[in-house]
Amino acid sequence: MLSELEGAIMLEVHMRRRRTAFQVRSAFLKSVTSDWSGSAGSVYPAIKRLEESGYIQRTTEIDGRGTQTLTATSEGISALHKWAVDPDLSAVITSDPFRTRSDYLSSLPAKKRKDALDAIRVKLADALIEIDNLLDQDHILKQSANELAGQLLRMRIAWLDGLNR
């Protein structure tokens, strides 16, 4: 089964029909939801693995720059589908730094707590604005993901507001 990073790379390559490793990296680097750092040391080896598994095909362009265009093979598309629809993977609750801290934060004495929560709310509001801006633009391929990220932030803010009352 594909790893989360491998699946995300396959998604980029397949959904956009063709991508270079550099474009995949850039997408991760720019993503507001910092799912993956997009570090060269993770993306290039992962693509190498996907190629060795026969999920990705590489075509070297004749542009002197050595640009390599990646496309998903039919086996790659199958593997991607299997990975994407697996119900267990979609039900997993992964680590959330906000959730990890929530009980500690709510246990703080009122004054200290208010200061901490106010600073956090500011950052959450900033992040939300950034995501809402994205939703106003094109980004058709990431619309649901950005929508869900926005909902997550709103959920956190609502939780903070519930505490301070």
CA 158 to chain centre: 23
- Shortest separation between residue 45's beta carbon and a copy of itself, angstroms: 18
Beta bridge partners of 20: 69
118, 153, 158, 117: which is closest to 132 by C-alpha? 153
- Smallest gap from Cβ 88 to DNA, in A, equals 13
Under the binding rule (CB under 8 A), the answer on residue 82 touching a copy of itself is no
Residues in the interface with a copy of itself (CB under 8 A) total 56
- Nearest to 70, CA basis, from 28, 106, 5, 23: 23
The smaller minimum CB distance to a copy of itself, of residues 67 and 98, is found at 98
- Binding partner at 122 among a copy of itself, DNA, none, C-beta below 5 to 8 Å by kind: a copy of itself
Closest approach, Cβ 2 to a copy of itself, in A, equals 11
Q: State which of positions 98-127 bind a copy of itself (CB under 8 A).
A: 98-107, 116, 119-120, 122-124, 126-127
Give the integer Cα–Cα distance in Å for 85 and 88: 9
Q: Look at phi and psi of residue 40 and say left if phi exceeds 0, alpha if psi is from -120 to 50, else beta.
A: alpha
Partner whose footprint covers residue 25, from a copy of itself, DNA, none (CB < 5 to 8 Å by kind): DNA
